[in-house]
Chain A
């Protein structure tokens, strides 16, 4: 970011020469007919992935040698941008000569690396990574068609961000370990969602079963349940840390302190108070209170009395308590 990102150029400037060459002159575009496959003693496989309405669609033709499972013919057609056409061309080439089981192991990263001019310089800008993903997915589709199985059976783990290849399990772990609360934090920690952004929430470039927003919400809920469980499991006579209490426990604890130490004093002066809400605010616990009776008009409600209430709660519960009269 910063200086380098202030003046943006054309995304085309970031395409490798191989991408440009394959876009202009794809070597393997075309199709294979039933007759051609039969003449090769091969089974014809035709697999489609994507849709024109999504902006990317690719059709892969394989001639798979019947005796060896080896891909001896490989062609493609593509509706897509330059990188989609180039990726499909390279993907088709990578399949040639491999068995179906070997071809399934080709990933979008392999496709992208095969398009690099130099090993360390990406072939396409980050936002174009999804175009090579399409090429990767269609291989799975072709292999599944050949083997008569479901496409998902080739995935050992559930990939959420195809561009960065981040799995669901990995995301859950990172959210829990680092107490991540926002999508921006997830992108910073994992790069998931940082490229084509389709995996963040519905409405993006591609439809997904599960989005980052779902995983974040579910994981945060699970963390909250675990915290509550931990609080519930605490022995009745053991006093849990105020910080680890559930909201109900906090209200009870605050009420108990007020009932024992604060309210008697206020009542003696013809006043009273009630707790309206407790909110976490960073490291603080903000306790919102409402003065009743004489306290509601007392000039010390925002000075001495307030200081006394806050000090009492701090002393008995937690140093990070702040009391906010409303």
Chain B
């Protein structure tokens, strides 16, 4: 059996999304910016897609949602345009973000630091959550941007976006959030949360890869990402990828309506809890960051004595896909910053396994996953130099 439990990395495209996209490759392929009838055929579906996006995040008609290639592009756009608009040509030089952002934010901030920008990387608390008061304390006269993720990709922990939004609004500082891991898992409302800019990516909510978006509140200063034609109202030039846009719109519609969110919380949340509780019955296992206040599909579990990559290896052999923040599974050998940010227990950085579910998982898969995870833990603990696993008494050898 194959069980895909790595949905925070990417998701399968929903068949309904794929069906919506199909005509836009070989049947309806006119450049939407041309004048002829081939072009005009694309417009109705583009409008519908845009409606779905606006509706999905509760954007106002006066605001912009610009289609990008992905959330990484949207994040880079925000960070680098902040440099252009407020720092290079202005009197501000400070950006606030967190230590646990996606590299699309932190690497872009590192890039600006080398060019003289001050960046404050706020740390998370012992539960892996950023506290809104830390943002308030960090804001300075010359702060040009606050960029804080909505939900963390590793732990699923939800950050106090509404509070941070209110603080930024009161202080007059533009507020950007990377909502890549939040869309389709929790209610995302840009107006309620006072968000000025928000990034998202279709392939995280069963849309296609290679397309994402940036919400920009009306009046927020942001230079165009790509100069060229007048596409996307001149904010991001280049021929619009209609099929991807239509696919993202449909995926957003399917992921964000009330029924979908209820299903995510009830069904997906129930499967996640079943998986999590079964693993927690094994000795010396904990949920990193705790169970409170997180997306319903994610659990990050530390299994003492079992190094992350070796766990992935065993699971993969048996058809189960998961993820680890273990340094050994990555190319640069640096442990995942999210793991490191917990600080107090460096062993967590190497023993964490992330399981992220989706609406396409079922109970049979979870039962199989529990069985295979248990076997892998037994085998690897029997090899482990720091944990000798004996099913009878669970005593450590050392």
Q: B289 contacts the other chain (Cβ, under 8 Å)? A: no
A127-B350 contact in complex given A55-B326, A81-B310, C-beta closer than 8 Å: no
Which residue from B305, B306, B346 sits with its C-beta under 8 Å from A53? B346
Q: A59 contacts the other chain (Cβ, under 8 Å)? A: yes
Contact assessment for B350 and A130 in the assembled complex, using a CB-CB cutoff below 8 Å:
no
Find chain A residues with CB under 8 A from B386 CB. 52, 57, 79
Contact assessment for B317 and A24 in the assembled complex, using a CB-CB cutoff below 8 Å:
yes
Mark contacts of A255-275 with chain B using CB atoms, 8 A cut-off: 1 yes-contact digit, 0 otherwise. 000000000000000000000
Complex Cα gap A196–B332 (Å): 7
Contact assessment for B310 and A127 in the assembled complex, using a CB-CB cutoff below 8 Å:
no
Complex Cα gap A48–B308 (Å): 20
Contact assessment for B331 and A80 in the assembled complex, using a CB-CB cutoff below 8 Å:
no
Contact assessment for A81 and B307 in the assembled complex, using a CB-CB cutoff below 8 Å:
yes
CB-CB nearest in chain B for A126: B331
Complex Cα gap A204–B335 (Å): 9
Interface residues of B in 264-306 (CB under 8 A from A): 305-306
Interface residues of B in 305-339 (CB under 8 A from A): 305-310, 313, 316-317, 326-329, 331-335
Complex Cα gap A128–B387 (Å): 23
A-side interface residues, number (CB < 8 Å): 36
Contact assessment for B309 and A78 in the assembled complex, using a CB-CB cutoff below 8 Å:
no
Complex Cα gap A108–B92 (Å): 52
Contact assessment for A81 and B328 in the assembled complex, using a CB-CB cutoff below 8 Å:
yes
Contact assessment for B310 and A23 in the assembled complex, using a CB-CB cutoff below 8 Å:
yes
Complex Cα gap A83–B313 (Å): 11
Find chain B residues with CB under 8 A from A53 CB. 346-347, 349-350
Contact assessment for A55 and B383 in the assembled complex, using a CB-CB cutoff below 8 Å:
no
Contact assessment for A82 and B313 in the assembled complex, using a CB-CB cutoff below 8 Å:
yes
Complex Cα gap A196–B331 (Å): 9
Q: B388 contacts the other chain (Cβ, under 8 Å)? A: yes
Q: B257 contacts the other chain (Cβ, under 8 Å)? A: no
- How far apart are A134's CB and chain B's nearest CB, in angstroms? 11
Which residue from B332, B384, B385, B387 sits with its C-beta under 8 Å from A127? B332
Contact assessment for B385 and A82 in the assembled complex, using a CB-CB cutoff below 8 Å:
no
Mark contacts of A284-298 with chain B using CB atoms, 8 A cut-off: 1 yes-contact digit, 0 otherwise. 000000000000000
Interface residues of B in 366-398 (CB under 8 A from A): 382-388, 397
Find chain B residues with CB under 8 A from A58 CB. 385
Find chain A residues with CB under 8 A from B327 CB. 55, 205
Q: B180 contacts the other chain (Cβ, under 8 Å)? A: no
B-side interface residues, number (CB < 8 Å): 31
Contact assessment for A78 and B333 in the assembled complex, using a CB-CB cutoff below 8 Å:
no
Find chain A residues with CB under 8 A from B308 CB. 81
CB-CB nearest in chain A for B350: A55
Q: A91 contacts the other chain (Cβ, under 8 Å)? A: no
Complex Cα gap A77–B383 (Å): 5
Complex Cα gap A26–B307 (Å): 16
Q: B351 contacts the other chain (Cβ, under 8 Å)? A: yes
Q: A233 contacts the other chain (Cβ, under 8 Å)? A: no
- How far apart are A80's CB and chain B's nearest CB, in angstroms? 5
Contact assessment for B384 and A77 in the assembled complex, using a CB-CB cutoff below 8 Å:
yes
CB-CB nearest in chain B for A205: B333
Complex Cα gap A58–B385 (Å): 6
Contact assessment for A81 and B331 in the assembled complex, using a CB-CB cutoff below 8 Å:
no
Complex Cα gap A78–B310 (Å): 11
Instruction: Identify the interface centre among B306, B326, B333, B351: most chain A CB within 10 Å of its CB.
Output: B333
Contact assessment for A48 and B385 in the assembled complex, using a CB-CB cutoff below 8 Å:
yes
Complex Cα gap A54–B349 (Å): 9
Which residue from A77, A80, A130 sits with its C-beta under 8 Å from B310? A80
Q: A303 contacts the other chain (Cβ, under 8 Å)? A: no
Which residue from A12, A127, A198 sits with its C-beta under 8 Å from B313? A12
CB-CB nearest in chain B for A53: B346
Complex Cα gap A29–B350 (Å): 21
Q: A84 contacts the other chain (Cβ, under 8 Å)? A: yes
Q: A174 contacts the other chain (Cβ, under 8 Å)? A: no
CB-CB nearest in chain A for B313: A82
Complex Cα gap A52–B351 (Å): 9
- How far apart are A114's CB and chain B's nearest CB, in angstroms? 19
Contact assessment for B385 and A57 in the assembled complex, using a CB-CB cutoff below 8 Å:
yes
Contact assessment for A79 and B333 in the assembled complex, using a CB-CB cutoff below 8 Å:
no
Complex Cα gap A85–B329 (Å): 14
Contact assessment for B383 and A26 in the assembled complex, using a CB-CB cutoff below 8 Å:
yes
Contact assessment for B387 and A79 in the assembled complex, using a CB-CB cutoff below 8 Å:
yes
Complex Cα gap A185–B393 (Å): 55
Contact assessment for A55 and B335 in the assembled complex, using a CB-CB cutoff below 8 Å:
yes
CB-CB nearest in chain A for B348: A53
Contact assessment for A205 and B383 in the assembled complex, using a CB-CB cutoff below 8 Å:
no
Which residue from A78, A196, A197, A198 sits with its C-beta under 8 Å from B385? A78
A197-B333 contact in complex given A23-B313, A24-B317, C-beta closer than 8 Å: yes
Contact assessment for A204 and B328 in the assembled complex, using a CB-CB cutoff below 8 Å:
no
Contact assessment for A77 and B350 in the assembled complex, using a CB-CB cutoff below 8 Å:
no
- How far apart are A208's CB and chain B's nearest CB, in angstroms? 14
Find chain A residues with CB under 8 A from B385 CB. 48, 57-59, 76-79
A52-B333 contact in complex given A23-B313, A29-B383, A79-B386, C-beta closer than 8 Å: no
Which residue from A55, A78, A83, A128 sits with its C-beta under 8 Å from B384? A78
Mark contacts of A58-100 with chain B using CB atoms, 8 A cut-off: 1 yes-contact digit, 0 otherwise. 1100000000000000001111111111000000000000000
A79-B313 contact in complex given A127-B331, A205-B327, C-beta closer than 8 Å: no
CB-CB nearest in chain A for B383: A29
Contact assessment for A130 and B313 in the assembled complex, using a CB-CB cutoff below 8 Å:
no
Mark contacts of B64-98 with chain A using CB atoms, 8 A cut-off: 1 yes-contact digit, 0 otherwise. 00000000000000000000000000000000000
Q: A8 contacts the other chain (Cβ, under 8 Å)? A: yes
Using a CB–CB distance below 8 Å, which chain A residues touch chain B? 8, 11-12, 23-24, 26, 29, 31, 48, 52-59, 76-85, 127-128, 130-131, 196-198, 204-205
Other 6 A-B pairs with CB < 8 A, given A11-B331, A58-B385, A84-B307: A52-B305, A56-B328, A78-B384, A85-B310, A196-B333, A204-B333
Give 8 pairs: A residue, B residue, CB < 8 Å, sorted on A.
A8-B331, A31-B397, A53-B350, A76-B385, A80-B310, A84-B310, A84-B328, A197-B333
Using a CB–CB distance below 8 Å, which chain B residues touch chain A? 305-310, 313, 316-317, 326-329, 331-335, 346-347, 349-351, 382-388, 397
